[in-house]
Structures are given as structure tokens and as C-alpha cells.
Structure 1
């Protein structure tokens, strides 16, 4: 019998399936794959499939079953409509049977951490904003959080592998990917494959400060949500270097549908951002965490500052991009 290989996890109608159940279905009644939800990539008998949003990397395009290089059908899970709160609670519950939570202390990751109830990990330079915030958040939530303290030398050593792995090799993507690299490294070294993360919340709920002043909020949010697939590809490419993957409850189809149905002006209003998410979070985490406005990952971890210093140290005083390009060329032997 041809081998069945699967990364990630599968659900049908809100019920988690074991790998044995998934294998039985794909071998015996593959039409059921149409309704598979979750985060997965699997292959069997010359066929391969990836989840609807393509969260898990794998052969072929996302959201389809391909057999012998031909598309057989689309994979389109259709869960019952739910409120945003119900969607978030369900999405996190489905993912929280194993793994570690990446915690930075903001509302996104704190809500995931609280509902998942798993041990956490935070990454940053010594004395960085994110390490301090994650420590405080974990204490408030009664969770264990391992602090991974990184150094400029660690970052410099990781850059060639990170830059080679990520699709878009610019300063912002590189600095975010470097931070995630160390989260994934720690997870892999300690036997975790799944890393629960708060990715996608800023785009779905209006978390960036630029949303406060844009005259085209609706269009900006729609564009940024459309770009989440590229972000997932970046994050998973780095996680895969350590045999791990990021699980993203905010990119669950239930959450995506509920969030996208909320008008933009209800997400960002009167100087406030992520209003619907904070309203849900207040039911599960202390108000101080639900309302906290944290720094972006690359700044809060301290990685961005080190990246600029490394560029200057290596002779690229005015362009971090040139430094990144140089590393990419050296990596490929040019």
C-alpha cells in the first residue's frame, strides 16, 4: 500500500480527526476531503492536498486535491456561521491539544495563550520590550513562559539561513523572520512541532498604527488581508528549518469570515485599533492585556536595531537592504 504522509492536523465540522481517521477517509472516500478544515498538507497514492488557506506548505497550490498532476476538486470547508468570539474560541481550542504558544505580551498572543493554556516561549535580546511584556503577561495568566535571550552574534549567525529561506528578502520580512527563527529553534530543540501564534490579527482587526490616519481604511485592510498568504509562507519557511510549523488560529476560516464581516470603521475608530478583538479578549484576559498597544515584533524583540547595527558594521551604513542582498549573494556563492 502506498504511503500516507501528513503534516499538520485536520477537522471536519469542528471535530478533530486522528491521523488514522484522515488516512481511512482519503483512501476510502476521498470526496470527503472537500470539507476538510484545519492546517494540513498530505500525500497518498499519487495525490496531494493542502488546506484551504495554504497555512501548511507542501506540493501544489493551496485548497485543492491534485492527483497525477491534475486538480480533482477544491477543498472548501463551510462551518456554521458564528460570532467572532465563538470563532476565536473554537479556532484556538482545535489547535491546543499540543504544542507551544509564542507569547510577546500583546493582546493577540495573550488571548491565544490564555485560551490554549499551554506553556509559552518568548524571544528577544536581553532587556528587550517583548521579553519583559511576555514575562508580565505569563504571570498574569498563570502560565509558564520560557525566555529565549538572543544576542547580536546569534542574529548574525542566523541571517544566512533565514534570508535563503524566506520568499521576500527585505528588511521588514527579514527582521520578523529572524525573531520567529529563534522561536522555532527553541521549539524544535524541545520536541515541539506546533507553535501557536497570533499572526494575522493586525491585518484582520486593524492593528497597525498607519490605519489610524489612512483615508482608505477599508481598502488598506482588504489589501493587507490578501497579503496574509505571503506572510504565512515566510513564517512557515523559517519554522520548517527546525522541523516545526506555525499554527495560526486567527487565520481559521471561522475567524476570517467573522472578522471580514465587521466594517472597517468598527475595527479602527477614535484612535483605537483592533476594537472587536479587544472586546472579545476582555472576556478571557485581564483588561491591561486586552487593551495593551505593543510594539511590532521586529522592534519589541530588539532584532531590528541589531540588524541596522550589523549592516553598518559590515560597511552598509545607509542600506539594510544592501546588507541583506549581500548575505543572500554570499549564501548562493556569488
Structure 2
């Protein structure tokens, strides 16, 4: 294996986008970089699968799909390096601003639920947004109120019980044997991805990762070891990314999470664990930043997860009972059997 540059003309392909030092690289710039040094992608950020000659590279979290493990550089099918853009812990607000700016291109939308995670992304991105939910759901009301207050263009997609059932079957088919939480999230994402496809958006910004980075889950309030609980959940992020990717790619779009930008991850991990939760207020550092960009009442408001606030989880529970199952897990097994 040589460190000489790979011939960029030999089978070069780039799916997604690449950045280095906060600058989005054009395809020609990427081609030139790998032509000069085939190990250049080890310092790339972005969301990409890149192939050049015998070499291939995939972004750190595997947000873009490709025939290589997430976060690896391969040559001839052998892993020869890691794609791990190193950022010293910096200012969290600056990191989030950069992460959103890199992703908020013209053909980008935002999945908005009204919670602080997606609200901050939507306000910074200044791109059209979509909220999904049952008629008069909590998410519909909150997201539309936020959008009105912030001047965000937001479309509310109203779903029905039969449509939720269809989306759930689709989610089970995509994921295989999902647990109830993953199934309900994926079913909700089906509607977002379908909307993005129909509206012509190849990328949808999401709030994924904020709860794990900033201490957003309610269970953290009772955790005897918050640092350990956070680390456990952060290690699960690649699996969640794979779930989201499966749904989005089936509709020809991609979910793009600015909070999983490695400069944001580095800044978040440098925060003292004790600063994340104060009393009953979770994600305090993120809320403090958000209050500078959206009305404070939205920045500080507690909100249920997307699958709950949309009403989709409750609908899935009703569907399970209607089909003779007391537990959603048993209902999912039935649907899985139908898929096979």
C-alpha cells in the first residue's frame, strides 16, 4: 500500500458532501485532495461515501450509506484508517452555527417538532420545515406556533390511523425486527421522508443526537451516574443513525443531524456533566444558546419525543389493541411475520 495519491480519474465517485476546516469542498477539490494523498479523507468532515480507485471512505457516523464500515478508510477492501475529523473542544454555540451553516443548502428542509433541538436548527437554517402528527397533536400546535414566532415556513402533515398503520408496516419491513421505540420513531420518519421526496428535498436537517449529548432524556433526572448513562446512550448513536438512514434512503433523501457534527460533539463532551441538568431543567447549555435565537418560552419548554408529541405512539398502541395485542412488541412481531 502506497501513500502516493490515488488517480482521481480512476473510478472516482462521491455521494454526499465533504468539508474540511469548516469549508465545503467541491467535487474537484475532493478529487484533488485524494489525488495528492489517499489518506486525506481521514481528516474529512461531512456526510459522504467516497470511492477513488481501490480506496473508499465513509463519514464518521455512517450517515451516508456505502459498502464500507462507518468512519473507515479502506483500500482494496481492507480498513487502513479511520475517518475521524479531530476538533479541539471549542465554543458550543460557534460549533452549532457552523454545523448548521454547512448543511443548510438551498435543497434542504428541516424536520420540526417544536422542541428546542429542532427549533434551534430550524431558526438557524432558515429553510422550509415540516411537522408530522395526528390532527391537533401537540407537535402540530407547538411547531406552528414556533414557526409563526420565528418567521419559519412550516408545513403541517396531518396523518390518520390507517396511514400510521401503513407507515408502521413499512418501518418494520425496513428495519427487520425493531423494538417498539425504534418502530414508532421510524414510522414517524416515514412521513417526513415521504414529504421530502415529494417536495424535492434531498436533505432534511434533524435534531438527532441532542438528547444524548446534552442530557435530554427524562430518565437522566433519576440516574445515579449521569456520566455513565450519557456514555451508554452516546455509544448507541451509530445504531440510531442506521435506523434513520434506512428510512430516509428508501425515499431518496437523507436525514442530516447537525448535532452529530464532530465539532459539536467535541464541544458538548467538554462540558461538565453537572452543567447539563439543573433541577428539573434538562439540556440547559443547549437551551441557553437557543434562547439567543428563538423566543425564550420555546427554548425552555419541555417537550415529548417526536413519536409521542405527534400522537403516533398512542395510535400504534390503539392499533395493537385493535389487532388483539396488549403489547406493542407482540403487534410488531405479528407485522414482522407478515413481512416475511
**TM-score relative to the length of structure 2:** 0.94
- How far apart, in 2, do the equivalents of 1:167 and 1:85 lie? 38
Residue 325 of structure 1: how far off its partner (Å): 0.9
Q: Residue 34 in 1 paired to residue 51 in 2?
A: no
The question of whether the paired residues in 2 share the 8 Å contact of 1:221 and 1:264 is answered with no
Query: Which of the residues 283, 288, 294 maps onto 2:297?
Result: 288
Partner of 2:6: none
Please name the residue that 1:201 is paired with.
210
Which of 13, 24, 28 lines up with 2:21 in the alignment?
13
Unaligned runs of 5+ in 2: 1-8
1:109 counterpart (111, 115, 118): 118
| Contact 1:167–1:233 (8 Å) recurs in 2 | no
Q: Relative to structure 1, is the Cα distance of residues 80 and 97 closer, same or farther in structure 2, using a 3 angstrom cutoff?
A: farther
Tell me the distance in 2 between the aligned counterparts of 1:222 and 1:81. 17
- 1:301 equivalenced with 2:315 (yes/no): no
List, as ranges, runs of 4+ consecutive aligned residues in structure 1 with deviation greater than 4 Å.
none
1:324 aligns with 2:332: yes
- 1:240 is aligned, of 246, 249, 262, to 249
Deviations 1:272-330 (A, max 9, x none): 110100111111111011101111111101110111111111121x1111110111111
CA RMSD of aligned residues (A): 1.4
Equivalent in the alignment of 2:233 = 224
The within-5 A match list for 1:1-334 is 2-98=10-106, 99-166=108-175, 169-316=178-325, 318-332=326-340
CA distance in 1, matches of 2:69, 2:101: 27
How far apart in 2 are the matches of 1:164 and 1:45? 34
**Number of positions where the alignment pairs a residue of Structure 1 with one of Structure 2:** 331
Bigger shift: 26-35 or 206-215?
A: 26-35
Alpha-carbon spacing, 1:90–1:168, altered in 2? closer, same or farther (3 Å): farther
Q: 2: distance between equivalents of 1:29 and 1:243? A: 32
Matches of 1:130 and 1:169 in 2, distance apart?
A: 24
Distance 1:231 1:80 in 2: 25
Q: Distance in 2 between matches of 1:49 and 1:109?
A: 29
Deviation at 1:12, TM superposition (A): 0.7
Partner-residue secondary structure (3-state), 2:73? strand
Q: Report deviation, 1:149.
A: 0.8
How many angstroms does 1:53 deviate by? 2.3
CA drift of 1:26 comes to: 2.9
CA distance in 2, matches of 1:242, 1:279: 35
SS in structure 2 at match of 1:293:
coil
Give the unaligned 5+ runs of structure 1: none
Compute the displacement of 1:263 (Å): 1.8
- 1:172: Cα distance to partner? 0.7
1:212 shift after superposition: 1.2
Return the alpha-carbon distance in structure 1 between the equivalents of residues 123 and 136 of structure 2. Answer: 24
Counterpart secondary structure, 2:80? strand
CA distance in 1, matches of 2:90, 2:124: 18
SS of 2:197's equivalent in the other structure is helix
State the alpha-carbon separation in 1 of the partners of residues 298 and 31 from structure 2: 41
Alignment correspondent of 2:4: none
Per-residue CA deviations over 1:165-198 (Å, capped at 9, x if unaligned) read 1266111110011111100110011111100000
CA distance in 1, matches of 2:54, 2:159: 43
